Amino acid sequence: MSIVAIGCNHRSTPLAKLERMTIAPGGLPKALSGLGEAENLSEVVVVSTCNRIEVYAFAERFHGGYQDVREFLARQAGLAPEDVADHLYAHHDTEAVRHLFSVAAGLDSAVVGEHEILGQVRDAWETARVEGTVGSALGGLFRHAVETGKRARTETSIARGIASVSQAAVALAGDRIGGIRGRTVLVIGAGEMAEGTVKSLAKAGAAEVLVANRTWERAVALASACAGVAVPLDQLATALARVDVLVTTTGAQDLILEASDVTGLAAQRDGRDLVIVDVAVPRDVDPAARALPGVTLLDMDDIGAFIDTGLEGRNNEVESVRAIVDAEVDRYHAMVSAREVAPLIGDLRATAEFIRTTELERHAKKLAGLEPAEREAVEALTKGIVNKLLHQPTVRLKDAAGRARGDRLAESLRDLFDL
């Protein structure tokens, strides 16, 4: 069995396909259940964000596991498996571990060093734990991944500056409109992305922040946290007529704003331009709105291009984070090997003890005339011989654990002693 990581992200897949494969938080339990029943997968965790959809699994067979995940993602997207396969990447064992640690550390994000992905990795692990699809293998792996992500942010400056998609969305909107200070902004959504957005808006000096959400209580709570104003969804058109910027962050599976909705606003806006930043995947706003006069529609592709132009300062930290990831991958394998070596050593000693006691029983008649003190001496002598014989192999096996030599020694031990 091996650990596999199979999926696609903002670099491997066009947004139009990526948004069809992503899974909303409410759909994760069903997805985990389906993957958990796949023939070649046992433990399963699904990481689905606005930038990626990845399945981490303990697979009976790599190729069989790959096919199970490919077919699952194809069904999710409503595409033929071969259309999905062109965009998938797949890693197994050490490279799967390295990929997950890199994701948690922010190296694989649209915004290098973003802090949101660490929480998303933790949430994916917790959801799988609640649904019963994660066990000791993936549980230990994801625990270590979270530790790696924390270390990367604590020991380097990778997360300084623009460190999240929400921050990038606000910065991009400000770039297109000549600054956020003094502007009125409407945020649709009340999840983690929306929370990050309103915080960034407040920091950028927005004059007024409006918050709309399907659940009124959550809209009120988020608006209160940023001294903003909650807006009922049935008053969305009125709000859109007066704002300078709209940021959409929902997890809806369908469009919440058609091009016709935006077209009808022109007369109410007195010629003022509207900047829309759609950070949702799937997209919240009809892409056709991009062609409308007076409307600037930006999505995750635009955010990615914007981020790429400002990475120079952060690239200096990338190598430091990669070194942390490499060190943690080695430490993880050492820990796993040590856990695997312990029962092997136990089996070896149990086998030796069985042989010792069996031989003493076989010669019981010859030893029957011994005094109690002499019996104790024979017991101590035979135990001492066994312990001395096993001492050096045990020490060397423990010292080599976590390295290729340790794996070779362990395999040899199993073969030699039939363990």
Give the three-class secondary structure for 149.
Answer: helix
pLDDT at 317: 83
Taking only the tens place, the pLDDT of each residue in 227-243 is: 999 999 999 889 999 99
Round to whole Å and give the CA distance between 316 and 304. Answer: 19
Which sign does the torsion angle of CA 375, 381, 387, 390 carry?
Answer: negative
Residues 6+ apart with CB under 8 A from 76: 20, 21, 23, 31, 53
Helix, strand counts (H, E) of the chain: 16, 10
For residue 111, what are its two tokens? 């915004």
pLDDT at 35: 93
pLDDT at 403: 63
Cβ contact 300:110 at 8 Å: yes
Pick the CATH number of 165-308 from 3.40.50.720, 3.50.50.60, 3.40.630.30, 3.40.605.10: 3.40.50.720
pLDDT at 312: 59
Residues 6+ apart with CB under 8 A from 319: none
Please work out, in degrees rounded to the nearest 5, the angle formed at the alpha carbon of residue 288 by the alpha carbons of 285 and 293.
105
pLDDT at 217: 94
For the domain made up of 2-155, the CATH class stated in words is: alpha beta
Taking only the tens of pLDDT, the chain with its 419 residues reads 689 999 999 889 888 888 889 898 889 999 999 998 998 998 999 999 888 999 999 888 888 999 999 999 999 888 888 888 889 999 998 999 999 999 999 999 877 877 788 989 999 999 999 999 998 889 999 999 999 999 999 998 887 766 688 888 999 999 899 899 999 999 999 988 999 999 999 989 999 999 999 999 999 999 998 899 999 999 988 999 999 999 999 988 889 999 988 887 766 787 789 999 999 988 999 999 999 988 999 999 888 888 776 665 566 788 899 999 999 998 998 888 777 777 888 888 888 888 988 888 888 888 888 888 888 888 889 988 988 898 888 888 877 765 667 778 888 888 888 88
Q: Any idea where the domains of the chain sit in the sequence?
A: 2-155, 165-308
- Does 50 qualify as catalytic in the annotation? yes
pLDDT at 419: 83
Chain center to CA of 114:
12
Percent helix, percent strand, percent coil in the chain, to nearest 5: 60, 15, 25
Provide the whole-model pTM.
0.68
Which of the residues 8, 38, 50, 103 is marked catalytic? 50
pLDDT at 186: 96
For residue 173, what are its two tokens? 């909107």
Query: Three-class SS string for 81-110?
Result: HHHHHCCCEEEECHHHHHHHHHHHCCCCCC
pLDDT at 304: 81
